[in-house]
Amino acid sequence: MRYAIFGDIHGNSEALGAVLGDVERMRVDRLLCLGDIVGYGAEPEACIRRIRSLGIGCILGNHDSAATGGTPLDYFNPYARAAVEWTADRLGGDEKAWLASLPLTMPLGGFILVHATLDRPAEWGYIMDREAAARCFDLLGERACFIGHSHVPVTFRRDGGISTICDVATVLDEGARYIINVGSVGQPRDGDPRASYGILDEGAGRVEIRRVAYDVGRAGRKILDAGLPPFLALRLEAGR
């Protein structure tokens, strides 16, 4: 099976459309979403509609949870909070009910999805270093755990010790375990403004991170026109 695994779309329908176009060319069997469909961007409803219409398996992100009242606003910085409040006003009851129904984790045989970390997933901790990765690895029964949340693509590998891999493609060794952050579709923060997502070829035991250019200017203009904080448009251009 070949999977496209993507998340942190954040209401950016330009980026989502570009990624789905790329996925089509990559001939995958199944699409999976790591959550944070909404928050920051100007088109949360359009992104939810697209994901639902394609029947994409999806887990819950912290912004999805906050937009439905599930995660308190004091978790967020002022820009994120403004976006959460704007998004919560904008979404209808059916969209909120669907977001609230999403699971925190999705085990899929050889691998598992979680938005933030397996270590208390509803507290939304970040895996930015080996200590945080170790806490997640300790709970990982599968060969690999796919995550988002930090918006920075990176892979942690445990085989005795824990190492960090920033390569575009990773071959999954038998006997090692992996935590793979596929980056963000709608708000990358690694200095590359292109949308980021992962392709898992389960048979070949290989993961590839793909970057896809999209109309960043248009997505930014929609954020400004919506009256969202201008910083949220600027950061798309910078990829930070």
- The residues of the shown chain that bind Zn ion, judged by CB under 5 A, are 8, 36
Cβ-proximal residue to Zn ion, closest one: 36
DSSP 138-161: TT--SSEEEE-SS---EEEEEESE
Minimum CB distance to Zn ion smaller for 36 or for 190: 36
Q: Which is nearer to Zn ion, 172 or 180 (CB)?
A: 180
Q: How many CA atoms lie within 13 A of 145 on its CB side?
A: 26
Nearer to Zn ion, 8 or 14 (CB): 8
Tell me the chain's radius of gyration from C-alpha atoms. Answer: 17
Q: Give whole-number Cα distances, 192 to 112, 152, 176, 184, 210, in Å.
A: 27, 10, 29, 11, 12
The CB-of-101 to Zn ion minimum distance in angstroms stands at 19
- Kindly tell me which of 22 and 36 has the beta carbon lying closer to Zn ion: 36
Question: Smallest distance from the beta carbon of 63 to Zn ion, in angstroms?
Answer: 6
Q: Nearest distance from residue 201's CB to Zn ion, in Å?
A: 25
- Say if strands 195-201 and 161-165 run parallel, antiparallel, or are unpaired: unpaired
Cβ distance 2 to 208 under 8 Å? Answer: no
Shortest reach from residue 196's CB to Zn ion, in Å: 12
